[in-house]
Structure 1
Amino acid sequence: MATFATSDQLLVVIDPVARRADGESVRIAKDVLSAGAAHTKVCLPEGPEEFARVLGRRGSRRPVLIGDDRALLRAVSLLHRQRELTACALSLVPVGPALGLARALGVPTGAVAAARAVLDGAERRLDLLVDDSDGVVLGTVGIPPVPARGGHRTGGGPDGGADGGAAGPHGRPWLRTCQSLVRTLAPARPARTALPLGGGPARLRVEVDGVVLVDLDQEVEGVSLTPGAAGVAEVEVRPLPDPAGVRRGPLTAVGRTVTVSGAHFRYRADAVESGPVRTRTWTVLESAWGLTLPAK
């Protein structure tokens, strides 16, 4: 269900990553928004704490994020933890290095088109995946994680980059900001074992609404979860070929609750890589959040 946004009082929050990545697009979006709204307040937070403070003091203003997928995920996560998500529709002007989620959600990726959608578009209520550590997923969960451009890991040391690996934060203050946010959202990490970071066969038990879709006696290439329609998640399990090399089609199911368990495994939720964990449960919250999209 879509409803038209009514507030012309905008709180424009410009993510620091967007400012560094494409200052010209940020300027264009800000000009279009300022010209089209009755009143626009512009904020330039420098880190997660300031971002949370600005969003928490929005009052009756409609929040508009100028940033990439991580900025949107950060806002949804904060509002979910504060239990204010259902009452706050978000708008996004995608600017930055990670825009795959924005495209998948239907947000225009051009600065002018996205800003016009903020002013003239409609709020659409979308489902949300929430895991048992209160983490949120707007797009897809992938197990094992497939390396994605613009993604980052929650681990440290040589795997995670937090201690200076290939994705180390030296000279990249925006990356330190993202890593700080992820550390606040991610559960405590158990000892590292098992599944390789780059993916590979795994033995996983996948239950959908309590019914076992695949068990530990069968190796799988991967599992994916995506919010579907009408309050359910779409689940796909890709089995390995049998000993004769015959590849079977994927196993699919839909349900409100999905539990994955097995040896320590990693997973990618949106742009964030998490784990290893032994078990994780995701539950669908129907129409849990609102996003302004172009009116049809």
Structure 2
Amino acid sequence: MSAAEPPGDGTRQLLVVIDPVARRSDGESVRIAKDVLSAGSHAKICLPQDHDEFSRALSRRGNRRPVVVGDDRALLRAVATLHRERELADGVLSLVPVGPAAGLSVAYALGVPSSTVAAARTALDGTAHRLDLLVDDSDGVVLGDLRIPARAAVPGTASGHPGVTAVWDTCRSLVRTLVRPAPPEIPPAPATAGYRLRVEADGALLTDLDRQVESVHLTTRSSGGVMDVVIRTPDGPPVTVGAKQVTVSGADFRYRADIQIGGPVRTRTWTVREGAWALMLPAALPARGPDG
């Protein structure tokens, strides 16, 4: 499942890509990461100014092993870039986490050390663990956790930006109030309002459009080529299965893939790619279950 990289002797070739958000949010941690990585390797330091430069730097890495200094979004950007170029399986990624803890939940769940020094040393002398990846039918990637929550759990996600819908609703309400008397208040939808979805796992029907779904949760198991699928409904125990492929369809729905909001879509299929990428980690991976 994994293979250790030889101990460092200063001859390793690294491409250290420092996310611009990390430089702005915690310059001291970035400096420490650079010092540790440069002391243990022949490191080329790259300071991209935006997302496009970040992706171009990875694409031009040559034989250098990429080390990303940044948060979950930087790691996801790196994985997505290499996946699009069909080069994800050919190398090993490292992450030195820099940023608020709330923006590093994916990295920590995967087993990346939280300490800057420990993570940088792991990038140099850790173990390359091959991990599973969820890939959808639009070529999007999910590193570990995907949820289709009840409608009330994804508030205001118009155009993929939380809060936009709420702002527009407020503006429309204000305009209506100015031009005519406000109509009686309409009670808000219950917090448990869900979807009517059809969910299939490896061709087997788990739930259909005649039942309401409160949430669908897909989680990779790190390795083994199987994802855990948990479906919660208002009127029964959760449905829990393991599957290699899941298709969800129904009325327009949104989903949260790792830390990003996707949709609305009417149908989407996620497939496990076993051992699709490799991440430098300490020797032992964290235990992960169906509920993340």
TM-score range, shorter chain: 0.7 to 0.9
Count, aligned residues: 254
Q: For 1:118, which of 117, 123, 129 is the aligned residue?
A: 123
Which one-letter code corresponds to 1:224 in the other structure? H
Q: 1:120 to 1:157 in 2, by over 3 A?
A: closer
Shift of 1:147: 5.6
Partners in 2 of 1:132 and 1:277 — Cα distance? 12
Partners in 2 of 1:40 and 1:160 — Cα distance? 45
The match for 2:229 is 235
- Structure 2, unmatched stretches of 5+, are 171-188, 285-292
The match for 2:44 is 41
Give the root-mean-square deviation of aligned CA atoms.
2.4
CA offsets 1:189-234 (integer angstroms, 9 cap, x no match): xxxxxxx9x8731111110011011111111210000112410111
Matched, 1:285 2:290: no
The match for 2:140 is 135
Give the TM-score, by structure 2 length. 0.81
| Larger Rg, first or second structure (1 or 2) | 2
Matches within 5 A, 1:87-106: 87-97=90-100, 98-106=103-111
Shift of 1:109: 1.1
Shift of 1:155: 2.8
Partners in 2 of 1:14 and 1:153 — Cα distance? 30
The match for 2:202 is 209
The match for 1:56 is 59
Contact 1:120 1:295 (C-alpha < 8 Å) held by counterparts: no
Which one-letter code corresponds to 2:218 in the other structure? L
Contact 1:33 1:115 (C-alpha < 8 Å) held by counterparts: yes
Matched, 1:10 2:3: no
Give the TM-score, by structure 1 length. 0.80
Matched, 1:78 2:71: no
Which one-letter code corresponds to 1:262 in the other structure? G
Shift of 1:9: 0.8
Q: 1:235 to 1:60 in 2, by over 3 A?
A: same
Shift of 1:32: 0.8
